[in-house]
A and B are shown apart, each in its own frame.
Chain A
Amino acid sequence: MKFGRFLTGLGVLIVVGVAGAFVYAWKPEIAPIKPPERASFDQALIEHGAKLAAVGNCTACHTNPGGKSFAGGLTIPTPFGTIHSSNITPDAETGIGTWSEAAFQRAMRDGVGRKGEHLYPAFPYDHFTNVSDDDNRALYAFLMTRQPVKATPPPNELPFPLNVRLVLAGWKMLFFRDGAYQPDASQSEEWNRGAYLVDGLGHCGACHTPRNTLGAEKASLHLAGGEAEGWSAFALDGSSPAPVVWDEEGLYTYLRQGWHPDHGVANGPMSEVTGNLGLLPDSDIRAMATYIASIVGEPSAERRAKSEQLLQEIKSGPITSAIGNDQSALGGKGAAIYQAACAACHENGRPQPFGGLDLRLSSTVHAPDAQNAINMVLYGLPAASGRTSAIMPGFADVLTNDQLNDLLGYLRQHFTDQAPWGDVVQRAADTRTGKYHVSVRPSDGIERGPSNIGAEDQ
């Protein structure tokens, strides 16, 4: 599929990488230190760092499901190969215990490890470079006071020449601009705070901005919708598929509590994000909402009117009865499946976040592609062990791909005004086999599902 383009890109990368190596690549080692004592950090600074680490969602990549926090080892599949996250506990041998603050600052700002090695951009330093020195200092204080864990992640599985870190210098030369966030004087303080969090530590664009063939975010399509761990990360700009228009209040509510009555619960990798944001003060959440709302922009009058009309319709209750008599008109099978397998939860009036969402409100069903809908129907929302969380059973082993196609075809037709998806059967097949990798997790945010439940065992 994309492999041809990828090979071309690879060629470019090699050439640029070799050139870059001479002018750009070499970085000195920063001397190791003895892991600092907890007492050497101010408690308030550590606590501030904890909040920042939550914004950065550090634990998501640096904790293996069921493993120790920040000890790394999580498998991160990329189009270029498999990367395993590093141990960022202060263990001297296997973690970052010997990193001075300067080394940490450099990693965040420039994407360079303590020994001078270039880091893979799976570590989103293209965003973290925005983080202020002060915030990095707090993050450092937080990470260096975690429980040290001795754990070495498995080696990355990358093809030559990508396994040569020097190549990354070329990538950086092409796509990476370092430097702390510079406020936009024409915007409010709140907006600037939001931009700092969203584009910096929050690295929202890492998922929500589309990437080019070399895996770099397309700057011109900032937050225009991307991909994360097998899920579509919906557009946060005007092209958002959300049936109800996102506004500042809606975004605030959603980011604050991880769900919104008009949008449903955060799922896929987003649930971890909203789970972590729980630590943030309201003011920061508000700032993020303000900034993102400005990206969403003012909807057209038509869009606004449609959104409001939908909310009115929702108020008058579910549309069960209509569906019940609808089977012949709308391709029968899908309607019957929805009615029998889905409606009991999705139309029983139980409110969010624990009830099934009225699918008229679902961004997933309105989305440009079927991937999230496939993921949700196949794998659902597994229960979060020991926490309250919305649960949706997966139907992977119940529905054949044809039945799934019937169902999604019906959902698309009945609940949206969007064109049908054309590739459900193929996508579903690729998702099931693991060719297209999907990570599945509960909706509560912190906890991951057990490995990639999506893929069939090899």
Chain B
Amino acid sequence: MNAPRFPNVTRRSLLLGTGALVVSFSLKDHAFAQEGELNVPAKPPEPVATGPKLPGSLADTPSLDAWIRIDADSSVTVYTGKAELGQGTKTSLRQIAAEELEVPPASINLITADTAITPDEGFTAGSQTVQNSGTAIRNAAAQVREILIQQASSKLQVPADQLKAQNGRIVGPDGKSIGYGEVVMTDMLHVDAQPKSKLKSPDAYEYIGKPFARVDIPAKVTGGPAYVQDMRLPGMLHARVVRPPSWFATLKDIDTASIKAMPGVVAVIRDGNFLAVAAEKEFQAVQAMRALTDLAEWEETPRLPNEQDLPAVLQKSESEQGVVAEAGGDFTGGITTFSAQFMRPYQMHASIGPSCSVAHLDNGTMTVWTHTQGVYPDRKAIAQMLGMPLDKVRCIHTEGSGCYGHNGADDAAGDAALIARALPGRPVKVQWMRDQEHLWEPYGPAMLTKVSASLDVSGKIVNWKYDLWSNTHSARPGSAGALLPGQLMASGFPPDKPVMNITPLGNGDRNAIPLYSIPNMRVLWHFVADMPVRVSSLRGLGAYANVFSIESFMDQLAKEAGADPVEFRLKHMEDPRARKVIATAVEAFNWSSDPMPEGRGRGFAFAKYKNHAAYLALAMEIDVDKETGKIRIPRIVSAVDCGEAVAPDNIRNQTEGGIIQSLSWTMYEEVNFDNTRIMSSDWSTYPILRFSAVPGTLDVHIVDNPGSPYLGVAEAAQGPTSAALANALANATGKRLYNLPFSPARVKATLGV
């Protein structure tokens, strides 16, 4: 029962020693600069000496960093560096591989992120898993199949063009067939993938685009071990950290003798401002943590900005300016110019399960089980923090609660490693408490945007200026200074210096460029380096606030132009796929400009995520109660085009989730703080959407494009949802809200009596 699935998942196929076919390929060509983050290693890492020996010459060919292997027992193994974050990765990637390999998806053994055995894919983020890994795996899988056919051809004495792969066997015209295992049995064949592959035609698909149950769900609904929180290793200790009451606080002298004397307590660890306790039993650790919290005295420093004054604070803190886009240059045209300013507060990932990690220092090697989004960068940071060589640290991805970006996962891994270092030989599990997650995770950055545009006589936009103020949205590990324990410990690693980085993937500037045809355009990022409130990547990065601003403003312009909001957008939209998605959503919603009962409104919004991923259009109907400021949502209809739809149900699941999460952000969420402390420490002070507020109906229509490239989809809904809600609110009440969130109090105040 103890952690059956966690360490060394299965290396049977690696160690088998008999014949096998391995096709190696690179994910690097696709996984360029994930999320626009700079700390993805430019070069693949050196092979890990302590890890299992890689098959054949692969270890010497690190440029080919992922592979598919067919073993003599016909087992199929796919190695990828991607992590399951609850988005169905393990299922989608299996579906893709199975399609080309002609085996049942469930039979595929998929190995995900582990620094000892899988390739460095940087981070699992930015809705890119299927877009990048999926594409690479599919090509490699097709080549495996063709090689198997070639090999079988000589074994069966049948020309290759008369053979086909079918359910794990190569089958000839006369019914002669040979299993994959038999084909590879005699030789150890190792091939590098070629640039071109013979892909199956979409009309022959058996798994892609077909309903296919997620492989991880049965265990999750029957109590199977599924998360790092569920790990139990022999001799494992339970640890809790004690965090300062606020940022920049320093721990005064402390005598921990009374804590050490508590039942079950094995160690109290203090390193500078890092404070933790480890005990035999979990509740003993909790009790010791409480006592230690009471005991610890801190010197606090008020250094947080004024929450009421965030727009001014951001503008004042501008450190650098970057041009995101510039086109045309004539900003004098048009007959009328309109402008608006939008604000998004700091918002949380707010995972339901607080961060957790298990670490074990054994024979000089530190193994860390973590729900990080990037095992390699996390390993690097931890190694630096501990002063250990890279090859003595191993990070194994183990699922956690959904993270939606860079939450406390890496920090908890750091905590576990730091505590485990003090307790060699014993595995240590660190579980954060609720307030620790709420107070210490890096938040999604606050953003200020200003937009102005001019309309000509025909109601077309002739120029567009857009300015955004934001921190970086990437403060992920790579160095020890990105880890909380790294910052807190006595030797104190400074946080990495934030860098403005403008790339097509976007960061704070993600989706800052409207997809609409506008002849004269200028988009600037006023970069704010200073971040007294800790921030990093939150689902969608800048796209949430940018799409909120742009799509709110488009509605405002439509109103000024006297046009229907949808027509107005179509008038400025050339991309045929965008037009089709918009048309699909509008038709399914039965969009019209007919008047509605008092207090009811409809709103629409559209975006192409990152301007190069999934297209998503969304319409909703809302009821606003002016007396309470409460918004009810009878129905939402969305349409999404993410290229070839590999797992339609999972696309729906992710999109529904994105919409509901964005509703929660948009209606309720805001991190509160005074000059010293963060005040949003739990669900009572940081409320999120509960069941009473879910939409009446929520439909997701998939515009499938079989055979076309996969487009990342999991974050596509965040932006359009917020804007559609803002637009529906304006439609219902005649008043527009520019500042997020649309809390009942704010709505009520805006609407007046």
Q: A residues within 8 Å of B by Cβ? A: 46-47, 49-50, 59, 63, 66, 68-70, 142, 145-148, 344, 348-349, 354, 383-391, 446-447, 450
Contact = CB atoms under 8 A, between A and B. Distances in A.
B687 A354 contact: no
Contacts of A387: 668, 687, 743-745
Contacts of B628: 59, 69, 446-447
Nearest to B742: A386
Contacts of B630: 386
B433 to A, nearest CB: 11
Contacts of A50: 753
Contacts of B627: 59, 63, 69-70, 146
B220 interface: no
Given A69-B628, A147-B599, A385 B684 contact: no
9 smallest CB-CB distances across A and B, nearest first, come from A69-B627, A50-B753, A391-B684, A386-B668, A385-B692, A385-B690, A147-B598, A388-B685, A354-B684
Interface in B596-653: 598-599, 625-628, 630
Nearest to A320: B294
Given A50-B753, A69-B625, A385-B687, 12 more contacts: A46-B753, A68-B625, A145-B753, A146-B626, A147-B598, A147-B599, A354-B684, A385-B690, A386-B667, A387-B687, A390-B684, A446-B744
Interface string B683-697: 111110110110000
9 contacts: A59-B628, A145-B753, A348-B290, A354-B685, A388-B684, A388-B685, A388-B687, A389-B684, A450-B692
A384 B753 contact: no
B687 A383 contact: yes
Contacts of B294: 349
Contacts of A391: 683-684
B682 interface: yes
Nearest to A348: B290
A142 B753 contact: yes
A384 B686 CA distance: 11
Chain B's interface: helix, strand, loop or mixed, by majority? loop
Please indicate which of the listed interface residues A46, A145, A349, A391 has the most CB atoms of chain B within 10 Å of its own CB: A391
B682 A354 contact: yes
Contacts of B753: 46-47, 49-50, 142, 145
A192 to B, nearest CB: 27
B626 A384 contact: no
Interface in B433-474: none
A66 B623 CA distance: 12
Contact of B693 (A47, A59, A147, A386): A386
Contacts of A68: 625
A66 B692 contact: yes
Please indicate which of the listed interface residues A59, A386, A389 has the most CB atoms of chain B within 10 Å of its own CB: A386
Please indicate which of the listed interface residues B689, B690, B693 has the most CB atoms of chain A within 10 Å of its own CB: B690
B222 to A, nearest CB: 24
Nearest to A50: B753
A49 B753 CA distance: 9
Please indicate which of the listed interface residues B598, B628, B681, B684 has the most CB atoms of chain A within 10 Å of its own CB: B684
Interface of B: 290, 294, 598-599, 625-628, 630, 667-668, 672, 681-687, 689-690, 692-693, 743-745, 752-753
Nearest to A59: B627
A100 to B, nearest CB: 21
Nearest to B624: A147
Contacts of B672: 388
Given A50-B753, A344-B290, A386 B683 contact: no
A386 B290 contact: no
B685 A386 contact: no
Contact of A383 (B290, B667, B684): B684
Nearest to A392: B684
Nearest to B670: A388
Contacts of B598: 147-148
A63 B628 CA distance: 11
A383 B683 contact: yes
Nearest to B435: A350
Nearest to B689: A386
Contacts of B626: 69, 146-147
B83 to A, nearest CB: 32
A70 B625 CA distance: 11
A247 B682 CA distance: 32
B611 to A, nearest CB: 32
Contacts of A386: 630, 667-668, 687, 689-690, 693, 743-744
B749 to A, nearest CB: 10
Contacts of A142: 753
Contact of A389 (B625, B681, B687): B687
Nearest to A318: B294
A142 B752 CA distance: 12
Contacts of A145: 753
B119 to A, nearest CB: 43
A354 B681 CA distance: 10
A47 B753 CA distance: 6
A342 to B, nearest CB: 14
Contacts of A349: 294
Contacts of B667: 386
Contacts of B625: 68-69
A63 B630 CA distance: 13
B678 to A, nearest CB: 13
Contacts of A390: 684
A68 B743 CA distance: 18
A38 to B, nearest CB: 11
A349 B294 CA distance: 9
A72 to B, nearest CB: 13
Contacts of B752: 47
A446 B693 CA distance: 16
A142 B744 CA distance: 20
A392 to B, nearest CB: 9
A66 B693 CA distance: 10
Nearest to B668: A386
A137 to B, nearest CB: 15
Contacts of B744: 386-387, 446
Nearest to B626: A147
A423 B410 CA distance: 54
A344 B283 CA distance: 12
Contacts of A383: 683-684, 687, 690
A338 to B, nearest CB: 15
Contacts of A146: 626-627
Contacts of A49: 753
A348 B433 CA distance: 14
A389 B667 CA distance: 16
Contacts of A446: 628, 744
A59 B748 CA distance: 15
A44 B672 CA distance: 33
A146 B626 CA distance: 9
A46 B752 CA distance: 10
B693 A385 contact: yes
Please indicate which of the listed interface residues A344, A385, A450 has the most CB atoms of chain B within 10 Å of its own CB: A385
Nearest to B623: A68
A385 B745 CA distance: 13
A368 B34 CA distance: 65
Please indicate which of the listed interface residues B693, B744, B753 has the most CB atoms of chain A within 10 Å of its own CB: B753
Contacts of A388: 672, 684-687
A136 B425 CA distance: 77
B402 to A, nearest CB: 20
A356 to B, nearest CB: 11
Contacts of B681: 354
A445 to B, nearest CB: 11
A451 B363 CA distance: 60
B51 to A, nearest CB: 43
A316 B598 CA distance: 56
Contacts of A147: 598-599, 626
B517 to A, nearest CB: 38
Contacts of A59: 627-628
Nearest to A442: B684
